[in-house]
Amino acid sequence: MSRVSNSVPPQQAHFGSFARPPARQRTILQSVVAPSFPRLQTRPNSLQKTPESTPSYRDRDGFRLIEITLREPRQLFNNLDPAPFHAKDLEATAEDYIVTAVREIGLTHPTKLAIYLPAAALMSEDAQDVPRAIHNYFAYREQHTRRELHELLRTGLIILVIGLVFLFACLWARGAARAFAAPWAAILNEGLLIMGWVAMWRPINVFLYDWWPVRQRQKTLARAAVIPVELHQHE
């Protein structure tokens, strides 16, 4: 959903910058886009986090705002992507900024993405396609991450079965080695036990630790895919 407004936000950065209120301090690196249009720049020192600072976003009508100021709509997207405008990839810095902001604000807090453009750019056809393009991109990224999670869990299940088979084989061989009284049998006995449990390390790691960051990223992208997008005039 989108809404065009003539409101001019206070304390906004210059065109082509990601805008947050002064309390927000963290520096994100500039990323270079194609020479045909300007470099996407961040507000100097506005995003540098200090130990005393905490993430801060402006509120409007009960919504927490993620704010971006641009000179033209295409500046938000990867200019090298040949896809139609509504299907283009977001510029990497823009994607990172939005995803990080959604995660910091929280997935359950009402949030809006506010994009500020000059009057001429605001009335362009590209500007009207910006909300759809943003939603399409994050929906695609969410689907990709969901497939990544599914593949991770499927791989984890396969290596779990392999690990269990190997563990049982080691335990069986360990029982057989007990029939020998030679010194080497004791070493083999302990070695088989260690090998069996080492084989279980990877599947245990997948199901205990590896899956939940991917799941959290998927949830964040799913939230970004439906976040309301507003277009505002910025002189």
pLDDT band, residue 39 (cuts 50/70/90): very low
Q: Is the model's pLDDT at 146 over the cut of 80?
A: yes
The mean pLDDT value of the chain amounts to 78
Among 56-60, 85-89, 146-150, 208-212, the least confident range: 85-89
Residues 169 and 132 occupy one common structural domain = no
Contact 145, 222 (CB under 8 A): no
Contact 148, 214 (CB under 8 A): yes
Residues 18 and 105 occupy one common structural domain = yes
Q: What is the pLDDT of residue 235?
A: 60
Question: What is the domain extent for residue 117?
Answer: 4-145+223-233
Count of helix runs (H) and strand runs (E) in the chain: 6, 6
pLDDT band, residue 78 (cuts 50/70/90): confident
Q: What is the pLDDT of residue 55?
A: 55
Residues 102 and 157 occupy one common structural domain = no
Q: Is the model's pLDDT at 142 over the cut of 70?
A: yes
Span 175-181, mean pLDDT? 75
pLDDT band, residue 186 (cuts 50/70/90): confident
Nearest alpha-carbon partner for 227 in 95, 61, 112, 97: 112
Number of domains in the chain: 2
Residues 68 and 158 occupy one common structural domain = no
- Distances from the Cα of 2 to the Cαs of 76, 119, 139, in angstroms? 16, 16, 17
Residue 152 CB contacts under 8 Å (≥ 6 apart), including other chains: 206, 210, 211, 214
> What does the radius of gyration of the chain's CA atoms come to, in whole angstroms?
26
pLDDT band, residue 65 (cuts 50/70/90): very high
Q: What is the pLDDT of residue 3?
A: 45
Q: Which two tokens stand for residue 199?
A: 């084989």
Residues 94 and 73 occupy one common structural domain = yes
pLDDT band, residue 24 (cuts 50/70/90): very low
- Distances from the Cα of 69 to the Cαs of 59, 78, 178, 197, in angstroms? 17, 16, 73, 54
Residues 117 and 57 occupy one common structural domain = yes
Residues 162 and 66 occupy one common structural domain = no
Residues 121 and 20 occupy one common structural domain = yes
Span 84-106, mean pLDDT? 90
Residues 169 and 80 occupy one common structural domain = no
Residues 183 and 229 occupy one common structural domain = no
Among 63-72, 81-90, 119-128, 161-170, the least confident range: 81-90
Q: Tell me the pTM.
A: 0.70
Residues 191 and 227 occupy one common structural domain = no
Q: Is the model's pLDDT at 217 over the cut of 80?
A: yes
Residues 102 and 171 occupy one common structural domain = no
DSSP one-letter string for 56-74: ---EETTEEEEEEE-SSGG
